[in-house]
Amino acid sequence: MGERAAAALRPLAGELLLAAWEDGARCHELYRPLALLAAALPGADPAALAVLPVPERDLLLVRLRKATFGTELGVFGHCEACGDPLEFTLHADEVAAGLEAATAVTADAPVEWAEAGRRYRLRPVTTQDLAATLAVPDVDAAGELLLARCVEADEADLAHSGLSNEAAAPSSAFPASAASRFAELHAAAEIRCAIDCPACCASQVLDLDIGRFLWREVAAAARRLLAEVHQLASAYGWPERDILALGPARRAAYLELAGAR
């Protein structure tokens, strides 16, 4: 999808915001980022979104977040050492730059290497890959399944080793270097924040799940919007579609006139 998809992103506001929230609320949390992107991208194919590499998907989510809520991301967490709350700000452009660098690694071709007489190819994880692990209760087994889905060996080498290429090869069929390369590839796409706790000065690195972060913001914004619709409908008797067609500034003015603010 790349730059064309980013250029086509629509901010989530009004009816579009409520539709994205409604669609996301009906599905597993793993698919909620895709529901947000599907609402923001006119004519998007859900199947195509599901097979986007996660770094590319997350880059679109960061850009959608900037378009919808602005550049600054207010992040909250807790200190691992003392438990005190942590609060800091990230800038969407800086986060996007890191993800752009990560997506550039495999933009033209998958990671390839040769080892012990076999050639291997490694691609980034997709949402579809992650969904395949939902039925696997064991964390280690889920990790092995992800590796097996994302690493391939040459057909001739698979046939020589007795493995069928009709199904994903078990991760045990791959060398240990495959797991380390897999971890290295995806570590580059993680959104990590180094911070010192102001209470105990402990240094730590926090991970930001942009899909979950944006979903929470969308859910909160949708509830606020529904509350505004309720207040204006109660005050003036207007239908929902007319209230949602108002811009935020005009809605706020009417709420003030109605005594709701």
Distances (CA, A) of 178 to 174, 175, 196: 6, 6, 34
Q: Determine, yes or no, domain membership for 110.
A: yes
Name the domain boundary from 127, 157, 187. Answer: 187
Name the domain boundary from 187, 218, 233. Answer: 187
Q: What is the DSSP annotation of the chain?
A: -HHHHHHHPPP--HHHHHHHHHHHHTS-GGGHHHHHHHHHSTT--HHHHHTSBHHHHHHHHHHHHHHHH-SEEEEEEE-TTT--EEEEEEEHHHHHHHHHHHHHHSSSS-EEEEETTEEEEE---BHHHHHHTTT---HHHHHHHHHHHHEEE-HHHHHHHT--TTSPPPGGGS-HHHHHHHHHHHHTT-EEEEEE-TTT--EEEEEE-HHHHHHHHHHHHHHHHHHHHHHHHHHH---HHHHHHS-HHHHHHHHHHTT--
Domain shared by 183 and 198, yes or no? no
Domain shared by 10 and 48, yes or no? yes
Q: Determine, yes or no, domain membership for 26.
A: yes
Q: Determine, yes or no, domain membership for 97.
A: no
Q: Give the model's pLDDT for residue 108.
A: 65
Q: Determine, yes or no, domain membership for 160.
A: yes
Cross-strand pairs, 152: 121
Q: Give the model's pLDDT for residue 163.
A: 42
pLDDT in tens, the chain (261 residues): 656 666 689 999 999 999 999 999 999 999 999 999 999 998 889 999 999 999 999 999 999 999 999 999 988 888 888 989 988 889 999 999 999 988 887 776 678 888 888 889 999 999 999 999 999 989 999 999 999 999 988 755 544 544 444 344 555 578 888 999 999 888 878 888 888 889 899 998 888 899 999 999 999 999 999 999 999 999 999 999 999 999 999 999 999 999 866
Judge contact between 84 and 200, C-beta under 8 A: yes
Name the domain boundary from 187, 206, 222. Answer: 187
Judge contact between 127 and 53, C-beta under 8 A: no
Domain shared by 166 and 182, yes or no? yes
| Segments forming the whole domain that contains residue 6 | 2-91+194-257
Q: Determine, yes or no, domain membership for 96.
A: no
Domain shared by 108 and 182, yes or no? yes
Q: Give the model's pLDDT for residue 157.
A: 52
Those residues with Cβ within 8 angstroms of residue 122's Cβ, 6 or more apart along the chain or in another chain: 110, 111, 112, 150, 151, 178, 181, 182, 185
Q: Determine, yes or no, domain membership for 62.
A: yes
Domain shared by 214 and 253, yes or no? yes
Domain shared by 205 and 150, yes or no? no
Q: Give the model's pLDDT for residue 162.
A: 46
| Token reading at 63 | 């850009």
